Amino acid sequence: MQQKLEARKMVMGNMSRHSMLAVENTKRKEEQLSIELRSLLVAGTSLSVARKRLEESNQLLSRDKGYVHLKNLQKMLRRRQQHMISQVSLLYPVKFTMGPAQEQELESFPNTSRSGNSARFKPANQGTLTILGLHLTMLPFKMMSFFTDKKEVQKSATALGYVGHAVLLIASYLKVPLRYPLRLGGSHSYIIDHGPSIEPTSSDVSSYIVVSTDVKHVEFPLFLDGQDTTRAAYAVFLLNKDLEQLLNYIGVKSLGPRHVLANLKELVRTIQSVDYIDT
C-alpha cells in the first residue's frame, strides 16, 4: 500500500507540473492573442480611414474639378511645351535641302505615327538635312585623314553643338533627365557617360563598392579637332541615344543610330502635332 501511495504521489506531481506548464502556455497565448487583437483593431481603423479617403478621392474625380480639371491642366502644360519647343525649332531649324539654291521646310516623315515609324520611308542619307543651314556629315567621324576637309569637320562640329543645345532645351521643357548629360561649348561640346569604365575583378562586395565610388564620369567630344575619331563617333552615338530617349518618352520610335538630324526633326514635329495635346 505504501508503494502504491508513493507511485500515485509521483503521478500527481507529474500531473501538477504539466498543469502548471499548461497554465503558463495558456497565459502566453492569451497575451499574444491580445496583442494580435489590438493590431487587428488598429489595422481595421487604418482600413476604414483609407476607405474613407478612397471614397473622397473618387468623389473628387467624379466632379468637374477632378479628373476633367487634371486633363485640362495637362493640356495646358503640353500647349506650353509646344510653344517653348517651337521656339527651339525657330532657333535651330532642321530643314531638307532640295537643291543647290533651294531650301524648303517639309513634314519630316508623313508615314510615321506615335506607335512607331514606317520602315519604308527613311532618309536616304543624313546630308539631305541641315540644322541652321549646316550639314551634319558623319563621314569625317569615321575616316579622318590628312586630306579631310577641315572646314567640313568644323561645320559638322558646329552642327553637333546646335543639336546638343536643342536636345538640352527640349529635355528641360519636357522635364526629362537625360541619360547622357551634355556639357555645352558650342562647336567644342562634350557628352558625359556616367557608366563605369573599370570592371572590378575581385568578387568581394566591399572592393566593388570602393571601385565604383572611385570611378568618375567620362566625357566624349562632339568634335574632331585634336580628338580621336573613335571617341568622337561614340559621342555622336550617345547624343543620338539622348534623342532616342526623348522620342520614347513621347511614344515614338527612333529612326536609327545614324539619323541624328532626322530624329531631332521627328521629335519636334511630333511635339508640335495636334495628337501630342490630346494624349
This prediction has a pTM of: 0.62
The pLDDT tens digits for 229-240 are 888 888 999 999
Q: Which DSSP category does 128 fall into?
A: G
Name the residue ranges covered by the structural domains of the chain: 67-278
pLDDT category at 133 given cuts 50, 70, 90 is confident
Residue percentage of the chain with pLDDT more than 70:
75
pLDDT of residue 229: 82
pLDDT of residue 246: 94
- pLDDT higher than 50, residue 63: yes
Distance CA 198, CA 216 (A): 10
Q: Between these two residues, 123 and 277, which has the higher pLDDT value? A: 277
pLDDT of residue 215: 53
Determine contact, residues 163/156, Cβ cutoff 8 Å. no
The pLDDT tens digits for 169-192 are 999 999 999 999 999 988 899 999
Q: Between these two residues, 278 and 218, which has the higher pLDDT value? A: 218
The pLDDT tens digits for 12-60 are 988 988 999 999 999 999 999 999 999 999 999 999 999 999 988 777 7
Determine contact, residues 186/223, Cβ cutoff 8 Å. no
Q: In this structure, how many other beta carbons lie within 10 angstroms of the beta carbon of residue 168?
A: 18
Distance CA 264, CA 270 (A): 10
